Structure 1
Amino acid sequence: MEIAVIGAGAMGSAIARRLVENGARVVTYLEGRSPSTVERAKAVGMEPVGLDALAASPLILSIVPPAEAIAVAKQIAGELRRRGSKTTFMDCNAISPRTMAEVAAIFGSDCGVVLDGSIIGGPPKPGQKGPRLYVSGDATNNSGVLADHGLQVRRIDGAIGAASALKMCYAGINKGVTGLGTAMLLAAIRSGADAALKREMQESLPDLDAKLVHGIPDMYPKAYRWVAEMEEISDFLGEDDPAALIFKGMAGLYRKMAEDREGGGLLAGQLDKLNNDV
């Protein structure tokens, strides 16, 4: 079975490895990607091919940063129309139902089948089942081949948009908590209340404290990708929901943390020192 995976980042390459380990041939398109990305893709068994060969695959997974989802959809749909062929295209990105509808509209009815996918959990690791790949709009079980090749697939009721909505809600809670913790710990550091806040959290909110101790450092290298994800969550909630403003703020926070990482990690260092000293 040949499966195409667009995106050879941490998640895309790990998904590809799992598929390869379970007998699939995984192809990808690497034009314009960095040498490190090319090396990572080849290391997990992904086979670089041209765009025309990739479009010939019977199943294509898009696993890219959410800001790139529309561009990838246009690129693949354009190649399919040039070839006069069809495929099954699954968008697995952290995008809102409205953006997912845009992806589906790009493919129209002449390029094959479009599925709505969302990945919850970290990249696959040896000996672990996860992550979960939720799929909606899959009445004919086109995603079944992924379950046959080692992925944990959960089909959910609903048309295209349901899986994306699930991702928005889950990420809003999970990454929203990490962002909230980051913002308030930085505020405490600026105000000289950091040690006292940290001790209070350890005593009265130990589970939350433990989550932040792990989740905040894990966020640093991902913050740049989470900016667009927070913007998608804000769009999902809509202008009439006051909570949409929360996630616009979260996008700004993660943008600040991404810039901090590029600038030497001053804020990250302060957060790490607080977690290590108290």
Structure 2
Amino acid sequence: MPTIAVIAPGAMGSAIGARLVGHGARVLTVLEGRGAASRARAAAAGMVDSGLDDLVATDILLSIVPPADAEALARRLAPALAAAPRKPVYVDANAVSPGTIARLAAIVAETGAPFLDGAILGLPPKPGSKGPRVYVSGDDTAPVMVLRDLGLDLRVCPGGVGAASSLKMSYAGLNKGLTALAAIMILAAEHAGAGAALQDELAENEPVLLARLAKALPDMAPKAYRWAPEMGEIADFLGPDAAGRQVFSGYAEHYGRLAAETGEPEIAALIRFAAAAAER
């Protein structure tokens, strides 16, 4: 069985690590500088704490970090990758734009390691579930097909480096952008005293949307700090579309505000709205 590095053991990384370990892979990670929660997740997943030299001696290296940390991680690993006599396939599976992916690919290319563009669509894997979908694109995806045998729903996205990240930006823009729009309008209604009326109207005419929001808003609350930079990456992805960039730059600001301490009252209002929606 292959040895795989998963960086880092956050909610997604540790769940993917657990899936790989459960199918017989040896999974390494790095816990230096990580907190108690990360260490506990890694231990529960069966991931092995390792140094950089061990990480770059694996067969596949999966980068699964917050979007804002993707480039810093690649630069941190670059010297060890360059010195490694046997290079892993570096898969960047972060929610970043094709422009960011191009910079990451250039960093990794200088080390001599093969690079693939990756995208994770869906929630962290749970026992008994198939997902999430993990897409890869690039010149040679064959070396990572083994991940299918290790429990991942791995799919090839047609195209070169940038194709998978374009899919991720488009899907996340629709999915998380809709949640941002809903949160903005729900908060506006609540501030104006029309929150209950809005919920009644949604229940009568948009029941599917209301049911979605009952789940999506609580799911968003602890992730807003990660979604903020992701919205910035989507704005970058939109390139010459000035109106689109403005919309997603605004969503980035919105999620950043919700993630801050000053956003706690707004998060509480959204959670109350979602709880009431779930009871209907």
1:173 and 1:122 mapped to 2: Cα distance?
15
Structure 1 length-normalised TM: 0.95
Match of 1:32 in 2: 33
Unaligned runs of 5+ in 1: none
Task: In structure 2, list runs of 5 or more residues that go unmatched.
Answer: none
Residue 140 and residue 126 in structure 1: after superposition, are their counterparts in 2 closer, same or farther (change >3 A)? closer
Shift of 1:176: 0.4
Show the 5 A alignment for 1:28-177. 28-177=29-178
Question: In the alignment, residue 45 of structure 1 is paired with which amino acid?
Answer: G
1:183-222 aligned within 5 A = 183-222=184-223
Cα 1:208–1:238, aligned 2, differ >3 Å: closer, same or farther? same
SS class of match (1:255): helix
Matched, 1:232 2:200: no
Change (3 A) 1:57 1:206: same
CA distance in 1, matches of 2:175, 2:212: 10
Quick one: distance in 1 between partners of 2:275 and 2:3?
47
Query: SS of the residue aligned with 1:147?
Result: helix
How far 1:241 moved relative to its partner?
3.5
Aligned to 2:143, the other structure's residue is in SS state coil
Question: How far 1:239 moved relative to its partner?
Answer: 4.0
> Are 2:267 and 1:268 equivalent residues in the alignment?
yes
CA contact (8 A) 2:7 2:64 kept: yes
1:85 offset after TM fit, Å? 4.5
By how many angstroms is 1:268 displaced? 1.9
Structure 1 letter corresponding to 2:266: L
Which region of structure 1 is more displaced relative to structure 2, 35-44 or 181-190? 35-44
Distance 2:213 2:90 in 1: 36
**CA distance 1:236–1:87, shift in 2 (3 Å):** same
String of CA shifts for 1:106-129, please: whole Å, max 9, x gaps. Answer: 012542200000000000011110
1:4 equivalent in alignment to 2:5? yes
**One-letter amino acid matched to 1:59:** I
Could you tell me which amino acid in structure 2 is paired with residue 273 of structure 1?
Answer: R
Contact map agreement 1:87 1:111 (CA 8 A) in 2: no
After superposition, the CA RMSD in angstroms is 1.4
Hey, what's the Cα distance between the residues in 1 that align with 2:96 and 2:43?
A: 27
Cα distance in 1 for partners of 2:242, 2:87 equals 39
* Secondary structure in structure 1 of the residue aligned to 2:142: coil
Separation (CA, whole Å) in 1 of partners of 2:141 and 2:39: 34
Taking only the aligned residue pairs, the percentage that are identical comes to 50
SS of residue in 1 equivalent to 2:89? strand
Q: Which moved more, 1:233-242 or 1:98-107?
A: 233-242
